[in-house]
Amino acid sequence: MAAMTSTARPHLNRRLAEFGTTIFAEMSALAQSTGSINLGQGFPDTDGPEEIREAAVRALRDGRGNQYPPGPGVPELRTAVAAHQLRRYGLSYDPDTEVLVTAGATEAIAASLLALLEPGDEVVALEPYYDSYAASIAMAGGRRVPVTLRPHDGAFRLDLDELRAAVTDRTRLLLLNTPHNPTGTVLTRAELAAVAELAVERNLLVVTDEVYEHLVFDDAEHIPLATFPGMRERTVTIGSAGKTYSFTGWKVGWVTAAPELVSAVRSAKQFLTYVASGPFQYAVAEALALPDSYLDDFRRDMLARRDILAEGLTAAGFAVFRPAGTYFITTDISPLGEKDGFAFCRSLPERAGVVAIPNAVFYDDRAAGAPYVRFAFCKRKGVIEAAIERLSELRKR
Ligand code: PMP
Ligand code: GLN
């Protein structure tokens, strides 16, 4: 099944035939054309720290990064990424051989899969999966094998037996995402340990998308998979400045991994964008060096917004899966007498003046994802409150 909505595209090759316009573009356009509140696409409606914006302006004015930066990324940023991994997680990476700067996490994902897969290789990925995973696996000629996170006690959980059963002799790599978009699940230490054991036992590579690493709430903890025994040498870890520093338009991401893996990913990356985001790389290097209090404040602020939206959606009649991480809330629309998240999201602008994302697009088995709808809370409190007010009208009609 398509991971995205489809429109007729007669010239599109077979590998990409199932992929139309991304749901995020479709829903943001719908928000624009209908003047709705956009709780669909995950981008903040306020920019990141002023001093980091200023750092970008300074780099631009000083002529740093206005011409092609070095292929692996500017040394300042590679050093800052390595320092961040060491400071936060005790993971030591050599900035010269074990860090690669990419055009956002999106390019990191694409380059990793293009570099590491042979045509026909199977990739085990958590379902619902972020939309670019399916497309990138397809572009690389791989086959995706979803393992579905299922609702249990108010959260979507990974069934480790299902994960084990999904691995075959044709499995080349696991594609992981924690904190997980769209469910907000954060894999626990025990789950990650089991994933690591499986990867070692079956000699699998792991690409782990950790772009929401700093958005974990309550007693959840983000533990990079690369910290588990036997994992450092087989794990490609992906991060991004877009989420952590609220500059999604800058498209600065990175990969940390062992030299042979970084070298492989770089081979693919150099023929995708070659390089990107020159002056922004310098600014993100400064962002990564901000004191941890920035991250604490950021998390606290997002937590407050999560609670406002979670309470509001509950009061409006949705069944809410309170996320342990990310800036998304997945809801079940069944209590509202609705079954089809697609139809619901397409009609929501007209019915309530709000835009959300139907989780079904992130499933191969669309029926399994049908009743779920995702709302983003990386928006100003007043905007979230206005959306809640509108949504609370739904039950009255
Ligand atoms: N992975 C996940 C799970 C995401 O939600 C996103 C969206 N930001 C990305 C990757 C892409 O990140 P970037 O904007 O840095 O390309
Ligand atoms: N990651 C964002 C989300 O999940 C979307 C990014 C994009 O549109 N590519 O909403």
What is the rounded CA–CA span in Å between residue 127 and residue 97? Answer: 32
Residues with CB under 6 A from ligand 2: 22, 24, 41-42, 181
Tens digits of per-residue pLDDT, 156-195? 999 999 999 999 999 999 999 999 999 999 999 999 999 9
Count CB neighbours of 355 within 10 A: 26
Q: What is the rounded average pLDDT of the residues 274-297?
A: 98
* Angle subtended at Cα 224 by Cα 221 and Cα 228, rounded to the nearest 5 degrees: 110
What's the pLDDT at 1?
44
Count CB neighbours of 152 within 10 A: 10
Residue to probe by mutation, ligand 2, list 26, 27, 43, 357, most atoms within 8 Å of CB: 43
Q: Would the CB of 181 count as within 6 Å of ligand 1?
A: yes
Tens digits of per-residue pLDDT, 319-354? 999 999 999 999 999 999 999 999 999 999 999 999
Tens digits of per-residue pLDDT, 65-122? 999 999 999 999 999 999 999 999 999 999 999 999 999 999 999 999 999 999 999 9
For residue 376, the ligand 2 atom closest to its alpha carbon is 10
Q: Would the CB of 106 count as within 6 Å of ligand 1?
A: yes
pLDDT at 216 over 70: yes
pTM of the model: 0.96
Residue 149's pLDDT band (cuts 50, 70, 90): very high
Q: Whose CA is nearest to atom 12 of ligand 1?
A: 105
Q: Which residue has the higher pLDDT, 4 or 229?
A: 229
Residue 21's pLDDT band (cuts 50, 70, 90): confident
The DSSP secondary-structure symbol of 249 reads G
What is the rounded CA–CA span in Å between residue 21 and residue 96? Answer: 37
pLDDT at 27 over 50: yes
What's the pLDDT at 371?
98
Q: Which residue has the higher pLDDT, 14 or 343?
A: 343
Q: Whose CA is nearest to atom 3 of ligand 2?
A: 42
Task: Please state, for a pLDDT cut of 70, what percent of the chain lies above it.
Answer: 97
Q: How far is the CA of 218 from the centre of ligand 2 (A)?
A: 24
Residue in 210, 12, 224 with CA at minimum distance from that of residue 112: 210
What's the pLDDT at 279?
98
Residue to probe by mutation, ligand 2, list 23, 24, 327, 378, most atoms within 8 Å of CB: 24
pLDDT at 308 over 70: yes
Q: How far is the CA of 80 from the centre of ligand 2 (A)?
A: 25
Q: Whose CA is nearest to atom 1 of ligand 2?
A: 42
Residue-wise burial string across 218-246, b where 16 or more C-beta atoms lie within 10 A, e elsewhere: eebebbbbbbbeebbebbbbbbbbbbbbb
Q: Would the CB of 105 count as within 6 Å of ligand 1?
A: yes
For residue 248, the ligand 1 atom closest to its alpha carbon is 14
- Rounded to 10 deg, the angle between the 50-61 and 278-288 helix axes is 140
What's the pLDDT at 193?
98
Q: How far is the CA of 77 from the centre of ligand 2 (A)?
A: 23
Mean pLDDT (the chain) is 96
Q: What is the rounded average pLDDT of the residues 9-37?
A: 90
Task: Please state, for a pLDDT cut of 90, what percent of the chain lies above it.
Answer: 93
Q: How far is the CA of 24 from the centre of ligand 2 (A)?
A: 6
Residue 2's pLDDT band (cuts 50, 70, 90): very low
